[in-house]
Amino acid sequence: MNGHNFRASAFAIASVIVNSGIPSNSRADEPLNAGVQAFVVSVPTRLGITAPAQVNITHDLTDAVQRFPAQQWSVRGNSRGGMVIEFSIAKAFKHHQIESAKNDARLSLSVTSTDGPATWLVTQPSDQTSLSNDDETAVVQATSDDVGSAMLELNVDFVAAPSVSLATGDYTMEVVCTISTP
């Protein structure tokens, strides 16, 4: 064997070794005629609330608490850290025409059903406004610790007031529900 043939043979062997390596998109345990491609789906955080429609009642003209029918709110979210659901009143019941005619409101909250891995907890089950203490706000709250959905039952009361002190007409109050991640 002469010197030229040895160099050519060594070059050919080195070329075969370099060119027969595993392709960069293959795993070592796959045949050389296969490849791997990853497909990834990114799921953004999604929180949702379904609120019931407006509800009206007629006062029974007694001094008793006037309770609205229980309202079912549907909440859902896919946050692994859970959710915070807050129902709030910014102003007590107010007469639609007489600015000074107001009445206290009370909220109470419970969880009636759940779906998914989340554990649900009512952290603030009830609250009410107190016009006599200049407090027109009330907040109730529930939390979850994982992905899931729940039906939350909200009860609203027109707190007892002497019926003779209530002016004829409609008294309105709004509840705002917010959902957030902790």
DSSP secondary structure, 141-162, as one string: EEEESSSEEEEEEEEEEE----
- The reported pLDDT for the residue numbered 11 is 43
- For residue 55 the two structure tokens come to 């509800």
> Nearest to residue 120, comparing CAs of 156, 138, 147?
147
pLDDT of residue 9: 43
CA–CA distance, 87 with 97 (Å, rounded to integer) = 26
Least confidently predicted of 65-79, 104-118, 135-149, 151-165: 151-165
The domain spans of the chain are 47-180
**Helix spans in the chain (H):** 3-19
Highest-confidence segment of 8-12, 31-35, 60-64, 112-116? 112-116
- Give yes or no for residue 131 having a pLDDT over 50: yes
Of 29-33, 80-84, 99-103, 108-112, the one with minimum mean pLDDT is 29-33
Q: How confident is the model at residue 165 (pLDDT cuts 50, 70, 90)?
A: confident
pTM: 0.77
Work out the average pLDDT over 159-170.
88
Fold for the domain defined by 47-180: Jelly Rolls (2.60.120)
**Phi then psi dihedrals of residue 64, to 5 deg:** -80, 160
